[in-house]
Every structure is written in structure tokens, then in C-alpha cells.
Structure 1
Amino acid sequence: MTTPQEVEVLLPAEVAYHEYARYRALLQAAGLQPGEADFVHLRKRSIDARGRQPLVRLRAAIYPGPPPADLFGPWFTYPDVSRARRSVLIVGAGPAGLFAALRCIELGLKPVVLERGKDVRTRRRDLAALNKDHIVNPDSNYCFGEGGAGTYSDGKLYTRSTKRGDVQRILRLLVQHGATPDILVDAHPHIGTNKLPSVVAALRDSVLAAGGEVRFDTRVDDLVLAENHLRGVITAAGEELTADAVILATGHSARDIYELLHRRGVLIEAKPFALGVRVEHPQQLIDQAQYRMRERGPLPAASYALVHQTQWQGRQRGVFSFCMCPGGFIVPAATAPGEVVVNGMSPSRRDSRFANSGIVTAIELEDMDLRQHGALAGLRLQQQIEQQACQVAGNTQLAPAQLLGDFLKKKSSGALLETSYQPGLVSVPMDEVLGAGLSERLRQGFRNFGQKIPGYATNAAQIVGVESRTSSPVRIPRDRDTLQHPEVHGLFPCGEGAGYAGGIVSAAMDGERCAEAAFAAVSC
């Protein structure tokens, strides 16, 4: 096998993003001339904007001969499990559920995936109705449907959960199913909401081709419980489905599932989460602040990550940016009529004129009314604020908004700025939605962020509410080793909805782990 020469360089953007100029620069770093290498494989790309001029750091492998055939692989193959003796019910077709299904197939188990929403293509009609007509379908929206919340919200693939699974394996699987190979290279990989649906459909096709099942419009309404053993589920249509194990991968917004578990006496726990607003700036303002250039040229739309520790009434809480979407859009993420929730998304090119990010503050257990609501305390707090946002904005999907400078001065905003939020905005003092405590923490955070990014905390930006679905407010406990619920045998809580993941890649890795745990349990 040909042994490559590894090189690492820092290049100006106009060189790094020009194919031939980049090729020449990498060869020069290796002491080679054009024609002395058969193939240059870019391994990693990141932007270093700390100096006066942003530079792009590249790491590459230069092959003097042909590269190995499995350069991006290995590709994964799946056996036929249509007649497998063991089956696993997987509730939810988000990244946790789909990757759990593929891993089950690799292990010889037949997965039966139950998705309350619609397939990824049909789901678009309900998103259009939500954006244009303010109609919320409780089973098909930005949170529910094939691919889960990430499919039509952004497609970010960056994760810090590198010890919970094989990140590169997940990325290779996504590339195998149609994602751009750039995700194997970029430091903060991103597919884009315009491209992720076809990848999700390809993942589903792999499940079906191997003999698994995927059922849409199939909401789980009850459990088949016998002596603390979960035998299966009962659907909204009244069908009873049984299997050797149940992987519960319903996502962070499946409130009816939390209510069902609570009602059936299955142990769940309140957990900390975060809540706040989405802030929207002109992308050009963020580009100029981050890159210190009038025009960013070939550089991608600039992003940011901000955090600040605040103090209010003797309690210290973090305020931080969440799901920052450069060149993106704000979208309505409600899952029931009578609530307003916002989220962010970016297309693959990140070419919108707007930048948006969640700016949220931590909600700890002592901030919740646990005495009255117990394990559902965080869920009730979410509902209360989302319903208030809907009421003050007119009981549609219009979202309450305020100019950021006015919010800091506790001043009502007259005219609002142009926005990427398609349903539209209503000028509302955000204190009326969030209350004094949350608003004060956010003000402290925004003031600090304004010191870090010039022009950030001014009326050039506006805040839109509410950003409340950052993560699940409920944890479904599981044994650390077996990944089964500690009291209900056969139940494998999984992904974001159970409190064990925080994004597409971490959810996918958790889905694989739960599939492996289910295999170990049913093989005993």
C-alpha cells in the first residue's frame, strides 16, 4: 500500500478555497512539484480567525501513487433480516432511531421503526402549512416526522461526545447515504437542511432493503407492560405490536410519551435544560466582526460561540449561544396549537442575509416547581412560557420580538427589523414572555457578548421568542451498563428524548449503543 506524506499548512482563504492554488501550496509544503504526486487527500480543514487576517488550516495526505480503495470507507453492508428470529421495536425515526435500526440489522435483529409523523418528503407540506397558514400538525412539524428535529432545522454534525461512540463511523455512514465528503474534513461539519432530507430517505431505504420495517403515521399511545417487563406498544390505531426489546427514541419534544410513562408509573426524572430567545443579526455584521474584513470573500459565513456566567438573586447561571446558524433562517418549531417556539436552520450554502442563534440560560432543578409537578416540572415550565408567547403575539404562529438594544434598556420597540422568520413578528416586551428572572439573566449575557463582538448588543439585532426546545426537560433513567430502564426490563431509553444526547451525531451514536445493548439482552 502507498504510504502518504502528511502535511499541515496555514493558507489565506483565497488560496485555501481555490482548488489548484491549494493543490500547489500543499505540494510545496511537502517539497514536491506538480506531477510528483498522484493524489492529495484533504483530511481536515478549520478556520483560524485570531490574527489580523483569517487563515485556513489544512491537513492533508499526499500519495506518490494511487490512494487506497477504502480511502473514505469502509462502506457498510447489511444482511437480510426479514426472517430474523429476534425483533426490536424502535419508537422514533430521528437519527437515534434510524442509526439504531441500521445497527440492529448489522447484528442480525429485525428493526420495526414506528414514526408518529410522515415521511421526509410528505412532511414538507405540513411545514409549509405551519409557515404560511399557521397550522400546527401535532404529529408532523419541525420536531416530528422522519429524520426528527434535525432534518428541517439545520444538519449540524459537530459534537463533543467523542467518548460515547465512533464519530467517524457515523460521518462515514452519512457520506455513504449521500452526504458530501466534506463532512469528513471540516472541523464543524454541516450538511444543510436542503440536503439532509435525501440523506434521511436513503438511510430509511437501507433499513427497508435489508428487511426492516418503517411505519409512518404510527403514534404510540400505550405500553404493553407485564410484571415490569415491556413486551411492546399499542398504537393510536389500537394495534398491539410486540417485540423482544423496545428502543424509545422519541426526541426531546414528545411530551405525550413523558405523560404516558408518568401515568403508567414508569420512573422518569426532571432534568436541567436551557431556555431563552433567538437573536437575529445581519450576517454581514457577524462576518465583519469575526473576520475583521469588509467582505469575507471565499470564507464561509462566520459563526460564533459565546458564554457568560450571570448572577441573579444569589444564583449563578450560565447564559450561552446555542445552535448558531450562520447564513440561516428562524423557523416555527411548535408541536401543538396554542404555543410559539422558534428554532434555527441553515441551508448547505449558508447564504441567507441573516445570522441567528439561540441565546439561552440554564434552568436548574431548583428553578423548577418540583413540589407540584415532580418529574414533569421542566416540561410544565416550557409549556407555560410557550403558551404565554403565543397569547401575547396574537394566538397564531406570529412570534413575539424586540430590538436587542431596546430589550437591554427595558424599552418597547416600535418598528422591528426585517426577519427570516416566515410567519412574521409582533413587537412585544420580552419580559412579558420570559418574566423578570430569565430576562435579567439574558440581559447580563447580552451585555457581555456586546463587549466581545462589536455591534452585537445593539438595535441592529432583534430577539425572537421563545427558544425553549434546547434539550429534554425530562430524563428517562437507564442502567449505565445494560442501558435498560432500571425498573422496566426490555425498555431502552435512547437519544435526546431520554436525556442522553444533544445533536444528530451524539443521538446517532446513542442509537447504535442502544441497539448493541438490546442485542446483548435478547441474546442471553
Structure 2
Amino acid sequence: MTKILRYRLKPEIALDEQRFEEFVKGKVGEGAQWKLFKRSIDARSKCVQVNVEIALSENGEDPRPFAYQKPDNHVENKPAVIIVGAGPAGLFAALRCIELGAKPVILERGKDVQARRRDLAAINKEHKVNPDSNYCFGEGGAGTYSDGKLYTRSKKRGDVTRILEILVAHGSNENILVETHPHIGTNKLPKVIADIRETILSRGGEMHFDTRVEDFVIKEGELRGVKTQDGATWEGIGVILATGHSARDIFYLLDKSGVKIESKPFALGLRVEHPQQIIDQIQYHCDNRGEYLPAAAYALATQTHFEEVKRGVFSFCMCPGGFIVPAATADGEVVVNGMSPSRRDSKFANSGIVVAIENEDLEAYAEEGEFRALAFQSEVEKNACAIAGGTQTAPAQRLVDFVHGKVSNSLPDCSYQPGLASVNMRDFLPESIYERLKFGFKNFGRKSKGYLTNEAQVLGVESRTSSPVHVPRDRDTLEHVEIKRLYPCGEGAGYAGGIMSAAIDGEKCAEKLIEAYLKI
């Protein structure tokens, strides 16, 4: 049996490994078996505390047992499941296929996680975007080089602990099992992804990089396989489509192939960057957070009215101690995203601040049909690129200047490597987006004294928050509503919002596909 003990401790005790161990031993005894079970920082009052839970064994058993074990079966001669995309949805679908006795064959348009680095460097230094290998495309998906946060707001999605344990089994620090907001870090996640690949390959699965899907093999209402750019055809008992939120060519291919898709609400705005010290002062109520507290994060949200229409403005993918990175997937567009290394030791804090976009907001794009949200998203990205000079230089403005509609005479230091161009954001942002963001920043400044400052700046455009296209599937079977053997999956199909939820969805799709078709 395991007993849970709860304590509220000062950061210098809870977050110092040696002092924390001494504290626990003083409470439970020198020879007791215990493990840290949960840990969270409570900064609601001026005196920051850390809530900890200790799992104490009362019968000599492991107080926090590790349930997951890597699969030991081999599937090289088993029926194949075609998985399009090697992001978290695709990788975790592949692992689950192996466990259930099917052979995963992953087709990834981008490069392996190590080779991607050269293409990321080319974006930052040379402003050259490889449309198949960038911050969005390649092994591990968008999360690999844009933060690696492991948050999910809904426990109903599935077994969160299982996903975390799989990551630990493949090299992640065990701290992700206990932290309220677990985070691997952009510098550590690539090694974990490579280890997952090794598990898949060593058990008989296949992974093919630089392999872009360009057509579907549909026969009598069933998706029997896909065709790639080299003319090869890949067939299996079914296809898990896990291509991510930026694979626009796949959305157009689905439509061309007669596969039902739908326009989907998403969110669009800017990314704001503050000196990390300002966010620390706001969140921790002190001038200096000291050596124990981590870089502070925040979550902000408000409701706005523009032309009598109510929409939310909220923070998205907040990255304490992080960097802003270029997330475009083609030349001629500027997209920004955020990331944090594992130590979160950058002097900057950044977050997307975005406005909810509903289908009824897109009447001007009605002729685009189910691509109206995508067309709107693309147009704003291209306008942001054009106003900043046509490269990966990002349009930028000091935060107070943005609120006042004033071009900044100078811009502060910034973590965004390709460089900045000082512009008036309202010259390329749609009026409704600009006015809602302006209201939102004012509101956040009232809520958090010091947030609305010209020491901060906004960069554009934060537009890849989620997929602008939804690929409908049956609620129970997870199969496409019209095309059999097609399992739309993860963020690209509109069923996930990050690494954790995408991984869980990948597992579920693999389970349903195998349940339905492995015996056929």
C-alpha cells in the first residue's frame, strides 16, 4: 500500500534536491521507501510556496510504480498500417501498433530529427525555408524544436500518465511524471524522439524520411494506401493520417480526392516578448526570483466585443526563459512560434496572444468554401512577410506603441534570430484582430501591473495555433465519416492541441484501426 503525504514548503527546500531529501527523511525516517509524487508552485500570495506530495510505501513495494515497458514483440512480418507523419500522433500510433501486433510503416515528408537542424539553421541565418523540412515538418513534428511542453487541459482525452511514462522510458527526465506543468525542452526532446525511432525500427517497424505523400489510393470507398513523390505506392490494412496543422497540401489533396473536409475555427494574433525579469516580478511579487524558483510563466484571457461580436483573446504556448523561432513552411510567409530549452534560462519570456476566429468571421472568404479559414490564415502570413521586406524578417512593434498605433522608433533586443522590421501592425492585421488585441493587452496590463510596457514588443504573426481544417471522423470508430480505413488523427485533423493530446489520439486511432481491420 502507498500513503500520500502532502506538504507546503519554501522554494529553497522543495526545489533543492539535497535539502528536500533531508526534509523528507526527517518526516518519514531514514530507511523508509518514498518517491516524489507531485509538485507545483503556488504563487498566488506574496510568499511563494511549493506544494509537494510524497508517495510513501507501507509494505516495501515501489511507492510510485512504473507501469510502461517497451514492447518486446517483433512485427516485421505482420500486416502493415500506413502512418503519414512522424509527429507525436504518428510516433505514438506506431508504438501502439507494435504492441497490438501490427507493423507500422511511417512516411515522413521531412528529415530525421538530427538532419532537420541544418534546415532550421538555414531559416534563421539565410532566410531559406525548405517546404518539407522546417520547424513544423520533420521527425518529431512541430513540438520537437518548438518547446516540448507536455500540457493537456483535459484528463478525459486518455491516459496522460502512460504517455509520460513512454517518454521517460525513451530517455526523458522522470521529473515530467511529477511536475504540474511538465516540460522536456527543445534541447532534450530530439534525443527522446531518436530513441522512440530506435524502438520502432528494432521491433520491425519502418520509417521513411524525405517521403511526401502526393496521392491517395481509394477503391470502392476505402483508402487502401498512398502514393509518394517518387512514384511508390504504399498499401496496408488502413491509413492513419497524422500530418500536423500546417500540411496544407494534404488538405487540398483530400478535397481533390473527394474526401470530406470542413473549415475549422482557430486563433490568430501576435507573439509578445518581455524581459523574463518583468514576468518574474509580476508572477512572484518580488524583484528577484532567486536561485530556486524557475522562470515564471503566465496564462491570460479576456473577452472582447468588436462590432457587437464577442470573441476571446488569450495567451497561447507561453514560453518562460525561451526564444521566438520562425515557423513558416514556405517562402513568402512569416510565422512565429515560441520554444524553451530545458533549463529555461534565456533572458526573455514570450507567449502567443491570439484572437479566436470562428467560421462566421470569414464571410469575406466564403468563395473559398471549406478552405476559408486556411485562406484567411495564409493571407495574413503573406501580408506580414511583405510588410517586413519579403524574407523571414518579422514585423515588430513595442507593446505600448502597438496599443497606441505608433511605429516604434527603435526596437529592444529580441530572441528572434532572423531579425525584425519596425512597422505598424495595424497596416497588415485585419481591423477586428488589431482592435481585439489592443483591448486584450490593455486588459492584461490592468490585471498584471507592469505587463503593458514598451520594454516588451510584439512580433507577427502567430497563426499556426491549430489546424484551420477539420477532417471529420466517426465519434466511436474514429474512422472518416465517408472513407473506410482512413483514420484522421492529431492536430492536423483537428483532434489535438499539443504533444500530449496528439500522442493520446495517435494511440486511440491505432487501437481502433487494428480492432476493425487486423483480422481481415
Identity of aligned residues (%): 60
- What is the aligned partner in structure 2 of residue 18 from structure 1? 16
Aligned 8 A contact 2:68 2:166 in 1: no
- What is the aligned partner in structure 2 of residue 405 from structure 1? 400
Is 1:352 the counterpart of 2:346 in the alignment?
A: yes
The verdict on how the C-alpha distance between 1:520 and 1:65 changes in structure 2, with shifts beyond 3 A counting, is: closer
1:147 to 133, 140, 149: 140
Is 1:89 the counterpart of 2:61 in the alignment?
A: no
How much has 1:76 moved relative to structure 2? 2.9
Tell me the TM-score normalized by structure 2. 0.98
How much has 1:26 moved relative to structure 2? 3.0
- What is the aligned partner in structure 2 of residue 431 from structure 1? 426
1:261-276 superposed matches below 5 A = 261-276=254-269
Is 1:456 the counterpart of 2:451 in the alignment?
A: yes
SS of residue matched to 1:368: helix
Aligned 8 A contact 1:89 1:247 in 2: yes
1:97-136 superposed matches below 5 A = 97-136=90-129
How much has 1:63 moved relative to structure 2? 3.6
- What is the aligned partner in structure 2 of residue 253 from structure 1? 246
1:297-352 CA-to-partner distances (Å, cap 9, x unmatched) read: 21010000000000000100000000000000000000001000000000000000
How much has 1:134 moved relative to structure 2? 0.3
- What is the aligned partner in structure 1 of residue 220 from structure 2? 227
Q: Could you tell me which amino acid in structure 2 is paired with residue 24 of structure 1? A: E
Is 1:278 the counterpart of 2:275 in the alignment?
A: no
Aligned 8 A contact 1:478 1:486 in 2: yes
SS of residue matched to 1:150: helix
Structure 1 CA distance for aligned equivalents of residues 351 and 143 of structure 2: 15
Structure 2 CA distance for aligned equivalents of residues 356 and 333 of structure 1: 15
2:375 to 362, 375, 380: 380
My pick for the range that moved more, 158-167 or 104-113, is 158-167
SS of residue matched to 1:201: helix
Q: Could you tell me which amino acid in structure 1 is paired with residue 319 of structure 2? A: C
- What is the aligned partner in structure 2 of residue 318 from structure 1? 312
How much has 1:62 moved relative to structure 2? 2.7
SS of residue matched to 2:195: helix
SS of residue matched to 2:34: strand
Structure 1 CA distance for aligned equivalents of residues 281 and 24 of structure 2: 28
Q: Could you tell me which amino acid in structure 2 is paired with residue 440 of structure 1? A: E
Is 1:184 the counterpart of 2:182 in the alignment?
A: no
How much has 1:19 moved relative to structure 2? 2.1
How much has 1:22 moved relative to structure 2? 1.5
1:396-424 CA-to-partner distances (Å, cap 9, x unmatched) read: 00000000000111111110010000000
Aligned 8 A contact 1:7 1:26 in 2: no
Structure 1 CA distance for aligned equivalents of residues 477 and 294 of structure 2: 43
SS of residue matched to 2:22: helix
Aligned 8 A contact 2:104 2:205 in 1: yes
Structure 2 CA distance for aligned equivalents of residues 67 and 135 of structure 1: 55
Moved over 4 A (4+): 64-67
1:154-185 CA-to-partner distances (Å, cap 9, x unmatched) read: 00001013112100000000000000000000
Q: Could you tell me which amino acid in structure 2 is paired with residue 17 of structure 1? A: L
My pick for the range that moved more, 323-332 or 53-62, is 53-62
Is 1:519 the counterpart of 2:514 in the alignment?
A: yes
Structure 2 CA distance for aligned equivalents of residues 446 and 307 of structure 1: 10
How much has 1:520 moved relative to structure 2? 1.3
SS of residue matched to 1:434: coil
Tell me the TM-score normalized by structure 1. 0.97
Structure 2 CA distance for aligned equivalents of residues 420 and 188 of structure 1: 23
Q: What is the root-mean-square deviation in Å for CA atoms of aligned residues?
A: 1.3
How much has 1:375 moved relative to structure 2? 0.7
Aligned 8 A contact 1:9 1:26 in 2: no
How much has 1:65 moved relative to structure 2? 7.0
Is 1:419 the counterpart of 2:411 in the alignment?
A: no
Q: Which runs of 5+ in 1 are unaligned?
A: none
SS of residue matched to 1:257: helix
- What is the aligned partner in structure 1 of residue 280 from structure 2? 287
1:132-151 CA-to-partner distances (Å, cap 9, x unmatched) read: 00000000000000000000
SS of residue matched to 1:41: strand
Q: Could you tell me which amino acid in structure 1 is paired with residue 237 of structure 2? A: D
SS of residue matched to 2:428: helix
1:264-290 CA-to-partner distances (Å, cap 9, x unmatched) read: 121000010000000000000000110
Is 1:163 the counterpart of 2:163 in the alignment?
A: no
How much has 1:453 moved relative to structure 2? 1.3
My pick for the range that moved more, 56-65 or 178-187, is 56-65
SS of residue matched to 2:142: coil
Q: Could you tell me which amino acid in structure 2 is paired with residue 205 of structure 1? A: E
Q: Tell me the matched-pair count.
A: 517
1:296 to 264, 289, 297: 289
Structure 2 CA distance for aligned equivalents of residues 134 and 257 of structure 1: 25
Is 1:46 the counterpart of 2:40 in the alignment?
A: yes
1:193-232 CA-to-partner distances (Å, cap 9, x unmatched) read: 0000000011111110110000000000001111211110
Q: Could you tell me which amino acid in structure 1 is paired with residue 401 of structure 2? A: D
Structure 2 CA distance for aligned equivalents of residues 341 and 254 of structure 1: 14
Structure 2 CA distance for aligned equivalents of residues 275 and 40 of structure 1: 46
2:476 to 471, 474, 481: 481
- What is the aligned partner in structure 1 of residue 336 from structure 2? 342
